[in-house]
């Protein structure tokens, strides 16, 4: 997550991501991505 934010910081010239990090849609998307990783991991075994 940190490397992603640093990359976006360089790309967008933005240093304050508090609005994004407090956004409910962002948290829902992050949870969905994490769930996809877990499901892919368990289905490959």
Please write the tens of the pLDDT for every residue from 1-45: 889 888 989 998 988 989 888 999 999 999 999 999 999 999 976
What's the predicted TM-score (pTM) here? 0.66
C-alpha distances out from residue 32 to 1, 27, 43, Å: 15, 9, 16
d(CA 40, CA 45) in angstroms, rounded, equals 9
Could you count the other beta carbons within 10 Å of the beta carbon of residue 43? 7
CB 20 within 8 A of CB 26: yes
């Amino acid at each position: 997550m940190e490397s992603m934010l640093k990359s976006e910081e360089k790309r967008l010239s933005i240093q304050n991501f508090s609005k994004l990090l407090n956004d409910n849609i962002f948290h829902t998307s992050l949870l969905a991505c994490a769930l996809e990783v877990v499901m892919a991991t368990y289905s490959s075994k």
